Amino acid sequence: MKLERTSHIISVLVENRSGVLARVSALFSRRAYNIEGLSVGPTQDPEISRITIVVSVEGHALDQVIQQLDKLVNVIAIEEMHESSSVQIELLLVRVSVTAENQEKLQALVAQHGGKVAEMAPTSAIVSLTDTSAKIEALISALNPFGILELTQSGLVAMRRTI
């Protein structure tokens, strides 16, 4: 029996206390699950933070991890976010090579993808995009011909849709 590993997005509300991120991530590392994406940030309540974790696991193992997470005293609530029922956004910053000749082409391409050129230096440019993972991947492929010098991406953040 082969267990299907798929990516899951788990959104965890935690008390804003020191050490809480270590506790949460330790539950994944203990089982040798690789965290693919992680973001931590404030919520509307200053005492509460949200950790969004993208992890590739098989369903039964995921249930187990969620149960274990729920046992952590500083974890208030856990929700799995599904693609169809939530808004999921991440942030990309990428430095590409440019020349005097292709600067405009880059501007146009980035605009077409809904991104921004955050810095234009003589031989390189920093491009940013805040969008879904698919859109981010599309931009990265489009930028490849320029020569990607450096790339950084945030973990994903998600919010459940109302409708």
Partner 1 sequence: MSDKNDKKMNGAASLVRSLEHAGVEVMFGIPGGAILPAYDPLYDSTIRHILVRHEQGAGHAATGYAQATGRVGVCIATSGPGATNLVTPIADAQMDSVPMVAITGQVPSGAIGTDAFQEADIRGITMPITKHNYLVTNPADIPQAIAEAFHVAASGRPGVVLVDIAKDALTAETTFKWPTSISLPGYRDHSQPKQGDVDDAAALIAQSSRPVLYVGGGVIKANASRELLALAEASGIPVVTTLMARGAFPDSHPLHLGMPGMHGTVAAVTALQKSDLLITLGARFDDRVTGKLSTFAPVAKVIHADIDPAEIGKNRKADVAIVGDLKLTINLLLPALKAQYAKARPDFTVWIKQVNSWRSTFPLGYDIPKDGALSPQYVIERLGKISGPDTIFTAGVGQHQMWASQFISYEKPRTWLNSGGLGTMGYAVPAAMGAKVGAPDTTVWAIDGDGCFQMTNQELVTCALNNIPIKVAVINNESLGMVRQWQTLFYNERYSNTDLHSKRIPDFTKLADAMGCIGLRCERPEDVDKTIEKAMSINDQPVVVDFGVFRDAMVWPMVAAGTSNDEIMVARELAPDWDSQEL
Report the interface residues with partner 1, using CB under 8 A.
Answer: 14-15, 18-19, 22-23, 26, 30, 60, 63-64, 67-68, 70-77
Structural contact between residues 4 and 60, judged by C-beta atoms closer than 8 angstroms: no
Handedness of CA 46, 157, 22, 137 (dihedral sign): negative
Question: In angstroms, what is the minimal distance from the CB of 45 to partner 1?
Answer: 10
Q: Which is nearer to partner 1, 19 or 122 (CB)?
A: 19
Question: In angstroms, what is the minimal distance from the CB of 1 to partner 1?
Answer: 10
Question: In angstroms, what is the minimal distance from the CB of 33 to partner 1?
Answer: 14
Question: In angstroms, what is the minimal distance from the CB of 7 to partner 1?
Answer: 22
Q: Which is nearer to partner 1, 26 or 134 (CB)?
A: 26
Q: Which is nearer to partner 1, 23 or 116 (CB)?
A: 23
Q: Which is nearer to partner 1, 45 or 119 (CB)?
A: 45
Show Cβ contacts of residue 61 under 8 Å, excluding neighbours closer than 6 positions.
Answer: 3, 31, 33
